[in-house]
Structure 1
Amino acid sequence: MATTASKMSSYVAVYSTIVNITKCLKTVLPNIQFQEVSPGSGDEDNLLTKAEIIVADNDLLGMHLYNLPAAKWVQGTWAGVETVLQHYDVSKPKPTFTITRFSNYFLGCMMGEYVIASIVNHERNLMPVYENQQCSLWNRDGKISNHRSISDLTIGILGAGTIGTDIAKLLKTLRARVWGLVHTVPKDEKRSPYVDEYRLNSDLPDLLQNCDYVINVLPSTVDTAGVLNGDMLKHCAKRQAVFMNIGRGTVIKEEDLVAALNKGWLSAAILDVFETEPLPPSSSLWTMPQVKITPHVSGCSRPQDVAMFFKENLVRFQSSQPLECVLDLDKGY
C-alpha cells in the first residue's frame, strides 16, 4: 500500500459527521484546502473519487472502500474498524490506498482518564457521597473513608498495545502493579517500563487469577471474539476482581458476564461497551447493583484530537515516513 506522496492533490476531502472537524482541521493546517463532503449529498461520489487524501468516519469509508480510485491515504476518525472490515471482500483486489485509524496517545490518554476516574469512584464509593450531599448528610462510613488506593491494586490490561500501554503508564504513576496480555511477549529492550508482568493470550487464566481489576482494551477481531465467554471469568473468583470493558463488547456474551457477576466470580463490572449497542432497555445489566454503565464514551473522537493526529500523520506522509496506526485489513486491526 502507498504511504507516500510526491505532491498533494488540490484538496483533502473531509467525509465525516463529527461536528466542527473541518474547522479544527483548518485551524491546525491553515495552508491546506479541505473540501467537506456531506454524506448523502449529490456530489458525494464525484468529490471522493477525485481525492488522493481523505479524512473519513470509518462507517462512511466502509461503504466506499472499493470506489476511491485516486486515493493514496485515508485517515479514519475512529479507532474501531468493524464498519470498514464488514465491507472488506478478500475475493476482490485489495484497496491500494493506506488506511490509518485514529488512535495513538490521543485515545490512550483519554481512555486512561476514564480508567483512573472509574477506579477511584468505585474504590471510594463516591456515588453515595453525592447522594448524601442531597440530604445534607455527613457520612464517612464504609468505603467512603476506608478504601483501597490504586497503589494497593494489581491491574490486568487485556491488550497491552499502544492504548493499553498508555493506560499502564498512568496507572504506574499512581504506583499500581500492572499486568499486560499480549500476542507476543516483547523482547527485553522493547518491554514497557509501565508493565510489570506480560502474559500471552494462552496464559489468560493466570492473569485473571492475579489481578484486582481486569480491563479489556482488545479490539474486535476473529481472535478476540468470545475470549471471556463460558466460565473463563471463574479465574477471577480468587480476588473477586472488578471487570472493566472499554475495548469491545464482543469479548464476552452478556449472559456469561451476568452469570459471572451472579456467581460472585466478579465483585463488580464497569462497562462502556456492549455486545449490542445501544444497550437494550431489556438488558439485566441495567438493574444489577454491582454494574456501572456508560454509553461508549471512554474514548471519544474529539475533532481537535483527530485534527492534530491527521496533522502529525500528514507530516509523515509528505516526507515518505511510515504512518501511525495503519490498518491491516487481513488482521482486522
Structure 2
Amino acid sequence: MIQPNILVFHPDYLIVEAYTKSIQRYGFKSVQAASTLEEAIKLLPGTEVILGWKFPLELLNQPIASSVRWFQSMGAGVDDLIADSSLPQDIILTRIVNQFGTYISEYVFMFLLYIAKNGSRMRQAQIERQWDPFISESLAGKTVGVAGLGSIGSEIVRKARAFDMNVHGLSVSGTNASLVDDHFSADQWNEFVKDLDYLILTLPLTDATRTIVNKDLLLAMKQNACLINVGRGALINEGDLVDVMQSGHLRAVVLDVFEIEPLPKDHAFWAIPNVYVSSHLSGPSTIDSVSNFFVENLKYYIEGQPLNGVVNRERGY
C-alpha cells in the first residue's frame, strides 16, 4: 500500500503528538506533526494530506503546498474554512460526521430534564435544608422542535421518542422528514417555532442560517418555551436574544456555542439567571474518535473511494 505523506496540525503541541501517535498505531508511518506556522511552512512541501485544526490556511495557495490534495478538519463545523478564500478549490475538504450524536443528545436531555423537573429548586432546597416537596413537569406530551436533522438532530429525535414527546423538525433537504411528526422547510421558521415547548438548534452555519434566530423569531415562540443551541453560535443574533431574555420572554435558554469563544467575561449571558452557559463542550472531538474517522477515510482515499464527510462548498457544510 502506497501511503501518502500526512501532516497533523493543531496549535497545542501535546494534542498534535497524541494524534500523530494514534495514526501511526494504525500502520501509517509517513506522519509529521506541526503546531506553529514555522513548523507548517517547513513540513508542507511533499505533504499530500492534512489533518488539521486552526491551520494557517493562507499557506495552502502558496507553492510549498502544491502537493496537498485533501484537508480533513478535526471538527464538524467548517464555516471558518468555507469563509477563507485561501483554501484552493482543488483541495478536497472533509469534516467529521456521525461522531457527536450520542454526546450532544445526552447534553440536550440533561438540560431538558433539569428544566422540566426544576433541578435548581431541588438543589436550592438542599442548600437551605428545606423540605420542599412539589410536583414537577414531565417531558411526555411536550413538543420539541429540532432544527437540523442530520446525525445529531436525528439522535435527539430518537431520544425524544423515548420520552414520549411530540417531535417537529426543520431541515433544508427534507431527507429525514419521516423521522418527525411534522416537518417544516427552511422558509417556514415562524410556523415551525410557534407551538414548540423546546427548540433545539443543531444546524451548520451558512449564509442562509447566520442569525436566523432573531428577535422576531424569538417573540414568535411561546413565552414559556425554551431554546437550546448546540449548533453554531452565530445562528443566533445574540443582542436580540439578550433583549428578549431581559424582557422576560422565554422560560430558559441553554447555550453551548457563541459568536465569540471563549465567551467574553463581560457578556450579558453570564448574568441572566435563566440563561445556562457552557464552554462548547457538548460534542467533544476526542483523539480516538477523530483518529478512527480519519484512518477510515485514509483507507478510502488510498483506494480511490469516495470519502466520508466531503464538504459541499456552495451549500456550506
TM-score, structure 2 normalization? 0.88
Q: Secondary structure at the match of 1:231?
A: helix
The counterpart of 1:146, out of the listed 116, 136, 140, is 136
The verdict on how the C-alpha distance between 1:282 and 1:20 changes in structure 2, with shifts beyond 3 A counting, is closer
The within-5 A match list for 1:119-130 is: 119-130=112-123
> Hey, what's the Cα distance between the residues in 2 that align with 1:301 and 1:80?
11
Q: What is the aligned partner in structure 1 of residue 245 from structure 2?
A: 261
Q: How far has the Cα of 1:50 moved from its partner?
A: 1.4
Cα distance in 2 between the residues matched to 1:310 and 1:300: 16
Give yes or no for contact 2:196–2:225 (8 Å, CA) kept in 1: yes
- The equivalent residue for 2:68 is 71
Question: 1:64-114 CA deviation, whole Å, 9 max, x = no partner?
Answer: 33242112222110112233234215xx9x432211112x22112221111
Counterpart of 2:109 in structure 1 is: 116
Quick one: which amino acid aligns to residue 171 of structure 1? A
Quote the residue 1:85 is aligned against. Answer: 82
Structure 2 match to 1:183: 172
| Counterpart residue type for residue 170 of structure 2 | L
Residue 203 of structure 1 corresponds to 188
AA aligned to 1:12 is: I
Matches within 5 A, 1:1-333: 7-9=2-4, 11-17=5-11, 19-20=14-15, 22-23=17-18, 26-27=21-22, 29-33=25-29, 35-40=31-36, 42-57=38-53, 59-60=54-55, 62-67=57-62, 68-88=65-85, 94-102=88-96, 104-141=97-134, 145-149=135-139, 151-186=140-175, 191=176, 193-237=178-222, 240-333=224-317
SS at match of 1:332: coil
Distance in structure 2 (CA, Å) of the matches to 1:24 and 1:170: 32
The answer for unaligned runs of 5 or more in structure 2 is none
Identity %: 27
1:41: how far off? Answer: 6.2
Distance 1:204 1:294 in 2: 26
* Contact 2:215–2:244, Cα closer than 8 Å, also in 1: no
Q: Distance between the aligned counterparts of 2:285 and 2:300, measured in 1?
A: 21
Taking a change above 3 Å as real, the CA distance of residues 240 and 137 of structure 1, as seen in their structure-2 partners, is: closer
CA contact (8 A) 1:12 1:51 kept: yes
Letter paired with 2:31:
Q
Distance in 2 separating the partners of 1:215 and 1:260: 17
Distance in 1 between residues matched to 2:34 and 2:85, nearest whole Å: 23
For 1:100 and 1:290, the matched residues in 2 are separated by: 37
CA offsets, 1:185-211, max 9 Å, x none?
33xxxx455322210111111110121
| Kept in 2: contact 1:155–1:214 (CA 8 A) | yes
Counterpart residue identity of residue 207, structure 2: V
| Equivalences, count | 313
Uncovered stretches (5+) of structure 1, i.e. residues with no partner = 1-5
How far, CA to CA, are the matches of 1:41 and 1:224 in structure 2?
32
Whose relative contact order is higher, 1 or 2, with alpha carbons under 8 Å and at least 6 apart? 1
The alignment partner of 2:187 has SS state of helix
